[in-house]
């Protein structure tokens, strides 16, 4: 779509000074959001949140140094949405599902009573059918304000004759000052699968988790809030979630970061993924006529004691 026709197409959704549409240098459509307290950026491809920042603070989200959205590929950073599967799936060439690589339909924009911006996206149902999945309705609501709220709703039509099973995950990349000076809190006493050791099952014994090597863990039955304490930024990132029983913690470290095409050599030091969703044994089931959800709210706290 040319620049002029692109802008004409989205003009009905624009709100002067609040919501603006543009294209990046590669021709990908994106939305820029400005509220009284924060800014954000969302790509139509994958309904991918690539930026969120409260005014007067550093960005909450990490983006890989290249910042380029290759067609048929995912930017490493922001919040890619993994659906309808997480990680690798037998018989599929893509990791983390196809929803992150296709444009979503923007259905609604609005401003809440609090002055926050609400956007609602829908995954084209024909995409589900063409990929061999039940043609369920997938809606994704993003609310930008003092916090960043992400709500995913999956509805299996009442006319369906079978349950819809799927995995979902907000693959959140958070910006940190130095990964070795960061701690994660809220996962003590949870079992986890260690992907660096062939999915060995282990028990988390500490409420203060540090990272000084590759980490790739799937925490099981993790439903409570989690905090990332960044001592150098004097900031706490708080992750509150509902209808999520999986938490994934990931940093590729030095050698694996070299295999990520859009990572610069030092990018691994500036990022930490703490991902909320339902994966593996905790996959979601939507019976005919039912709706399943996944809800996450991300906030920051400036902490002079950190």
Q: What are 50-73's pLDDT values in tens digits?
A: 999 999 999 999 998 765 555 556
DSSP 86: -
Using DSSP's 3-state secondary structure scheme, residue 258 falls into coil
Q: Which residue has the tokens 């060439």?
A: 93
Tell me whether residue 182 is exposed, middle or buried, using C-beta atoms within 10 angstroms of its C-beta: 0 to 12, 13 to 18, 19 or more. Answer: buried
Enumerate the H helices of the chain as residue ranges: 3-10, 125-130, 253-257
Cβ distance 112 to 104 under 8 Å? no
- Picking from 143-147, 258-262, 287-291, which range would have the lowest pLDDT averaged per residue? 258-262
pLDDT digits (tens, 9 = 90+) for 179-214: 999 999 999 999 999 999 999 999 999 999 999 999
pLDDT digits (tens, 9 = 90+) for 118-177: 999 999 988 988 888 999 999 999 999 999 999 999 999 999 999 999 999 999 999 999
From residue 183, how far is each of 95, 174, 224 by CA, in Å?
28, 13, 17
CATH number for position 64:
2.70.98.10
Range of the domain at 291: 3-302
Query: Quick one: what percent of the chain has pLDDT higher than 70?
Result: 94
Using DSSP's 3-state secondary structure scheme, residue 101 falls into helix
Cβ distance 174 to 63 under 8 Å? no
* Other CB atoms within 10 Å distance of the CB of residue 298: 23
Query: How far is 119 from 117, CA to CA, in rounded Å?
Result: 7
DSSP 6: H
**How many folded domains does the chain comprise?**
1
Using DSSP's 3-state secondary structure scheme, residue 19 falls into strand
Query: How far is 208 from 194, CA to CA, in rounded Å?
Result: 17
């Amino acid at each position: 779509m040319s620049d002029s026709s692109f802008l004409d197409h989205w003009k009905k959704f624009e709100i002067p000074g609040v919501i603006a549409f543009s294209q990046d240098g590669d021709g990908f459509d994106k939305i820029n959001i400005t509220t009284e307290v924060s800014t954000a950026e969302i790509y139509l491809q994958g309904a991918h949140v690539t930026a969120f920042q409260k005014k007067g603070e550093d960005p909450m989200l990490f983006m890989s140094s290249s910042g380029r959205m290759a067609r048929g590929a995912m930017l490493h950073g922001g919040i890619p949405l993994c659906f309808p599967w997480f990680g690798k799936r037998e018989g599929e060439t893509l990791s983390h599902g196809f929803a992150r690589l296709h444009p979503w339909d923007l259905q609604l924009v609005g401003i809440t009573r609090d002055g926050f911006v609400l956007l609602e996206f829908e995954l084209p149902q024909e995409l589900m059918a063409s990929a061999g999945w039940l043609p369920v309705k997938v809606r994704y609501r993003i609310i930008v304000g003092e916090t960043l709220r992400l709500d995913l709703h999956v509805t299996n039509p009442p006319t369906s004759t079978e349950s819809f099973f799927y995995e979902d995950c907000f693959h959140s990349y958070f910006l940190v000052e130095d990964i070795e000076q960061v701690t994660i809190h809220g996962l003590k006493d949870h079992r986890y699968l260690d992907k660096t050791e062939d999915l060995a099952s282990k028990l988390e014994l500490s409420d203060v988790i540090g990272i000084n090597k590759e980490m790739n863990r799937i925490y099981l039955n993790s439903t409570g809030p989690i905090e990332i304490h960044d001592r150098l930024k004097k900031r706490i990132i708080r992750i509150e979630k509902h209808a999520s029983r999986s938490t994934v913690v990931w940093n590729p470290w030095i050698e694996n970061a070299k295999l990520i095409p859009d990572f610069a050599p030092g990018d691994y030091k500036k990022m930490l993924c703490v991902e909320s969703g339902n994966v593996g044994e905790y996959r979601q089931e939507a019976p005919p006529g039912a709706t399943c959800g996944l809800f996450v709210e991300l906030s920051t706290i400036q902490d002079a004691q950190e």
